[in-house]
Structure 1
Amino acid sequence: MGRADEAKAGFLEKSMLSYYELRKGVQFIYEGQPYEVLEFRQMGKSQDVVVAQTKIRNLITGRVLPKNFHQGEVFEEADLIKFHAKFIYANRGKFVFAYTDNPGKRFELIEEQVGDAAKFLKLNQEVEGIIFQDKIINITLPVKVRLKVKESPPGVKGDRSQGGTKAATLETGAVVQVPLFVESGNTIEVNTETGEYTRRLEKGE
């Protein structure tokens, strides 16, 4: 078998995805780099060609961009290795993490890589590290995290100007909209994908 045949065989052995399979959460290779689908909004038509309208995030740089994919396009599924890690600290735009099973083994990521996840990182927050081509490229947070409300002004009964919500500053510095009954000192659950409040935890949870 010649080199061309070997390359072709290797290409065919890899898991391939059609444009229609680029659903939310799917990780694939685009222009030689790994991306994750954040949104798969709808199917439309452009000059009689079916189009998939998506928003994708580069897992190396953290950059998010809108992208349309067309019928007939195929993509290689990203071959990623994932491992458990914990957030240790941040300093001058660098975020330091440690392997859960080997705390002495640490790695750094820059702010651009971590992206919006930085808003919800607290000391010892569990994350999932991502390795691509033998290199740690990024981390992902659990879909839901628990954070303490650091500051939240008293809610005004009957206030509907913001749909019955108010701004609350969390222990990480993130600001989210919460129901009027949430108070400073409460612990709430936040969806890290949307940045939205999901519920207030009861004592003992």
Structure 2
Amino acid sequence: MTAYSGNSLKSGIKILIKKQPYEVYSSEFIKPGKGQAFVRIKLKQLLTGKLFFKTVKATDLFYSTDVVDIEASYLYNNGSIWFFMHKKTFEHISVLKTFLFGYEKWLTNLSSCVITLWREAPISVRIDNFVQLKVYDVDAVISGDTINSDNKLVTLETGAIIRAPLFIKKGDYLKIDTRNGKYISRIVK
């Protein structure tokens, strides 16, 4: 295990706090005019996906954790368990829905993702920030009703429902931001 002092924590480092794995998102070293230096860090709790801020002393020690990221492809699910295939070993990995943190609505067959393992068990799945999905169905828009609405509800091939501009029609491909579920653009193929 590698030890890190509070002032050596950098973005991307994975550490243990109270026997739980965390990932450092950002850190800011602060040396006030009076008093002891401290570090304000933004952490992600890897088991729950929650982000929060923590202030630590610059001299506090933190230990690295045995977290491993592997590249995988999505295969299928049974409603509560999602199945993936390791890209190098072709081994199948099963992940509980709770560790997908809402990303399951953006997964299509063979979607690439990164699975985080802690103590050889999957604890989270991350996908690309942007995905391309086909429009499966669109809400009907009443002709001339563009004053009340500038967008409509669209159902994507994965079952996810988002808001998209009025010109989007069934069969179009859309670029979607998976972090907030928003329409980015239409893709011409």
TM-score (norm 2): 0.74
Which piece of structure 1 moves more, 124-133 or 81-90? 124-133
Question: 2:89 is matched with which residue: 102, 106, 120?
Answer: 102
CA distance in 1, matches of 2:24, 2:70: 20
CA distance in 2, matches of 1:55, 1:15: 15
Does residue 1:152 correspond to 2:141, yes or no? no
> Cα gap change, 1:88/1:51 in structure 2, threshold over 3 Å: closer, same or farther?
same
CA distance in 1, matches of 2:135, 2:159: 9
Does residue 1:129 correspond to 2:129, yes or no? no
Give 5+ residue unaligned stretches, structure 2.
28-37
Q: Paired residue for 1:72?
A: 57
Q: Paired residue for 1:84?
A: 71
Which piece of structure 1 moves more, 181-190 or 152-161? 152-161
Using the aligned pairs only, state the percent identity. Answer: 21
Question: 1:165 is matched with which residue: 151, 154, 157?
Answer: 151
Q: Paired residue for 1:35?
A: 22
Aligned length in residues: 179
Give 5+ residue unaligned stretches, structure 1.
1-9, 41-49
Does residue 1:182 correspond to 2:171, yes or no? no
CA contact (8 A) 2:43 2:54 kept: no
CA distance in 1, matches of 2:88, 2:66: 23
CA distance in 2, matches of 1:17, 1:191: 33
> Cα gap change, 1:90/1:17 in structure 2, threshold over 3 Å: closer, same or farther?
farther
Q: Paired residue for 1:93?
A: 80
Letter in 2 for 1:33: Q
Deviation at 1:35, TM superposition (A): 3.2
CA distance in 2, matches of 1:53, 1:186: 42
CA distance in 1, matches of 2:9, 2:71: 31
Does residue 1:14 correspond to 2:3, yes or no? yes
CA contact (8 A) 1:117 1:140 kept: yes
Question: 1:197 is matched with which residue: 161, 164, 183?
Answer: 183
CA distance in 1, matches of 2:66, 2:50: 21
Indicate the SS of the match to 2:102.
helix
Instruction: Looking at secondary structure, tell me which structure has more helix per residue.
Output: 1
- 1:110-156 per-residue CA deviation (whole Å, 9 max, x = no partner) reads 11111201111111111112222333333211111111111112445
Letter in 2 for 1:117: Y
Question: 1:117 is matched with which residue: 103, 107, 122?
Answer: 103
